[in-house]
Amino acid sequence: MTDRTGRPSDADRGGGPRIGWGAGVWGAAVTAVLALLPPAVSSRLPDRLATHWDGTAPDGSMPLWAAALAPAAVWVLLLLGLLLAARRRGAPGRHWTAATLAVSGVFLAGAQVSIVRANLDRADWRDAASTGTGMLVVAAAAVGAGALGWLAGRHGEPPSAVRETAAGPLLEIPEGERFVWLSRTTNRWLRLTGAVAALIAAVAVLVAAAGLAAAPPWALIAPFAVVALAASGCSSVQARVTEKGLEVAFGPLGRPVRRWRAEDIVSARAETRTPAQVGGWGYRIGGQGTTVMLRSGECLVVRPRTGSDFAVSVDDAERGAALLNTLSARRSA
């Protein structure tokens, strides 16, 4: 998000709030899996759990309480260290922090699930099954999660400073210069809803993977996964105006994206809208056209040559509309 002078806002400077909020939810979820999974199925586990394998045979063990608390402690220390390092480095290191948290969290949680599953219904830890195949799957999942974390962190970095211009229906752009306008809005309640739904779906998947359920609980996994995707996709939005036109990106990964070429836009304006006017929160379609409603107040509204109006709730909409009008007029001339 940018303020009216084009500088990064306080919420984005240093990467603090968005990193801390997301890392807090992720950290709590991974900690819960690490610390609570072994005690949750303790009646089906031996007193000591096999925790290390020499090839296919277990050669090391821990008491059940240590097998739960040791990886949780490692995870918490890693989490705190990464967050402190990210705050000192500032926003440029945000994507690496997100990637590291994703890789390490998925790997530790997956390893814990594999260990519990290998020890399940065994009388002695020496009889534990091999974790070889399970750990290969966990390693692949961790790499994939790291890639997604890196993309999410890159998308969350604040944009470079926008050139300061006067607000108005049109902007005077000197010959040979290029102006870019960018603004971002996040709805923390939608983001929280998506995170909680994803956590419930993930726990259900882990329960099934650990052999604690006779069959995957699809009646629980499917609806919460859909809610997680829908809420996360509408939890944040980024609008960007360049010489090509308008680009509106959704969700923490900036996907999906809607684009309009400058010459395909008849007009753009700033307008105040509320959830009550457009029918609620999120992606709304109604009599006023399509509105991406993340918070009450200022919206950028565009009228394309074909189709209905499109509005998105972002700050500094007046200047974005003025730049878009100028670009549209130039392309249509």
Per-residue pLDDT reduced to its tens digit, 218-250: 777 888 888 888 888 888 899 999 888 899 998
| pLDDT tens digits for range 39-53 | 888 888 898 998 888
Mean pLDDT across 168-194: 74
Q: Is the dihedral of CA 266, 268, 269, 274 positive or negative?
A: positive
In this model, does residue 185 exceed pLDDT 50?
A: yes
Count of CB atoms situated within 10 Å of the CB of 298: 18
Q: Is the pLDDT of residue 312 over 80?
A: yes
- Tell me the CB-side half-sphere exposure of residue 117, using CA atoms within 13 A: 20
What pLDDT does residue 158 have? 43
Mean pLDDT of the 312-317 span: 89
Locate 78 and state its tokens.
Answer: 């890693």
pLDDT tens profile 129-138: 888 888 888 8
Across the range 136-162, mean pLDDT stands at 67
Instruction: For residues 74-92, give the mean pLDDT.
Output: 72
Q: How does the average pLDDT of the chain come out, rounded?
A: 78
Phi, psi of 208 (to 5 degrees): -65, -40
Sorted by sequence, the CB contacts under 8 Å of residue 228 that are 6+ apart come out as 194, 195, 197, 198, 201
- 178 CB-contact burial (10 Å; exposed 0-12 / middle 13-18 / buried 19+): exposed
Question: How far apart are alpha carbons 283 and 315 in whole angstroms?
Answer: 18
- Report the pLDDT value the prediction gives residue 91, as an integer from 0 to 100: 45
**How far is residue 55's CA from residue 130's CA, in Å, rounded to a whole number?**
8
What is the predicted pLDDT for the residue at 164? 33
- Residue 251 is encoded by which pair of tokens? 């969700």
For residue 1, is pLDDT > 80?
A: no
Q: If you search the block for the tokens 């890392």, which residue do you land on?
A: 23
Which pair of structure tokens corresponds to residue 57? 């045979």
pLDDT at 186 (0 to 100)? 86
pLDDT reported for residue 173: 60
